[in-house]
A = this chain, B = another copy of it.
Amino acid sequence: MNKLRTVIVDDHPIVIEGLKTLLKNEANLEIVGGFSEGTGLLSYLNTKPVDLILLDVTLPDINGMDLCQMIKERFSTITILILSNHTERSIIMQTIQNGASGYLLKNSSLDELRQCIASAVTGNICYSKEVVEIISRPTKNQLRNTPQLTRREKQILSLLAEGKTSQNIAQELFLSPLTVDTHRRNLIQKFEVKNVAELIAAAHQQQLL
């Protein structure tokens, strides 16, 4: 196998240099470029082939996550590893959606970086230990005690989310509209919200929809 043509993207030139030095002696990869801006990377990709990108989230021009998605759309074969200091759960989860093959914190050891690169280029996704901890950590919303819903309530909740009125739902489930109203009211109570709009938002946050 040829050496992996690797590009480093980070808004701090120092980090780029540091990574270059760290990875200089890796047998299986070769650093072919370093960029501190997203636009620079994009124009480079249009001219030269690249196998692996180590990508920071914070960039001066384009958001790293958006950049990730853009790259994946145009150059689907490129493997992208996110290397960032962001420890927010939502950011990490977003990067998966956007096609990244892994997420590492910048304080990761060289060993972890090596392991993740190996995993990523074979097609797997890999998260470093600290990142896994963040992912596993329950969301704020999940900490809030999720209300216990009955089967009927779940059913009606999802129909409400489809924009159906009590009457619609009643017809669909062969119930009295008054019954549906009651369930709706109980849902609003259980979630401690003001109306259906907030109910749907809350249910979504707690991954019930």
Q: Which residues of A come within 8 Å of B, CB atoms? A: 72, 93-94, 96-97, 99, 101, 115-116, 119, 122-129, 132, 135-136, 139, 160-165, 193-201, 204, 207, 209
Contact = CB atoms under 8 A, between A and B. Distances in A.
A198 B132 contact: no
B123 A129 contact: yes
A196 to B, nearest CB: 5
Contact of A198 (B135, B136, B162): B162
Copies in the complex: 2
A162 B195 CA distance: 9
Contact of A200 (B99, B132, B201): B201
A89 B108 CA distance: 29
Contacts of A197: 160-161, 163, 196-197, 199-200
Contacts of A165: 195
A62 to B, nearest CB: 15
Residue with the greatest number of chain B CB neighbours at <10 A, chosen from A93, A123, A164, A193: A123
B135 A96 contact: yes
A101 B200 contact: no
Given A122-B129, A196-B196, 5 more contacts: A124-B126, A125-B125, A125-B126, A126-B126, A197-B197
Contacts of A201: 161-163, 200, 204, 209
Given A163-B195, A201-B161, A124 B127 contact: yes
A117 to B, nearest CB: 12
A187 to B, nearest CB: 11
Contacts of A127: 124-125
Contacts of A94: 207
